[in-house]
Amino acid sequence: SLRVDLRQMNIAGPEQTVTNAVSNGTTYDISFWIRMDNAPEIVTIELKCETTAGVFQSNFEATAGTNWTQISGQLTPNWDSGATLTQGKFRIITNTSTQGFRLDDAWMTTAEDALVIGPIPGTWRREAQ
């Protein structure tokens, strides 16, 4: 888990470098739990890709509450086909306030990498498929 506080600007938030995990045009499933300290707020989930042709961003917004709220969505980075990715960053920021918040159980994966656990036909077992 991560506690985010003492922010001076709303765009100050946790950031993770994901350069080696990001591919152009690939859709990523994003999920995490968040809890705002003072009041519900809209948060922006952003994937920022710096390339040899410039900076390209994909993002989505969701409302986070003062109780633990699960946020899920998808991001698809796209940049010029001839460009090379130099840095990829994933971050979460608030849209208006500088209030603190907590994050837990964050992940980013492609649909192809997702592990699906389901019933095995004709049995009571559940296994990865």
> In the chain, what percentage of residues exceed pLDDT 70?
85
Predicted local confidence at residue 126, as pLDDT = 52
Residue 125 has pLDDT above 70, yes or no: no
Residue 26 near residue 110 (C-beta atoms within 8 A): yes
> In the chain, what percentage of residues exceed pLDDT 90?
77
What's the mean pLDDT in 28-46? 95
Taking the C-alpha atoms of residue 80 and residue 107, their distance in angstroms, rounded to an integer, is 26
Residue 1 has pLDDT above 90, yes or no: no
Taking the CB of residue 102, how many other CB atoms lie within 10 A of it? 16
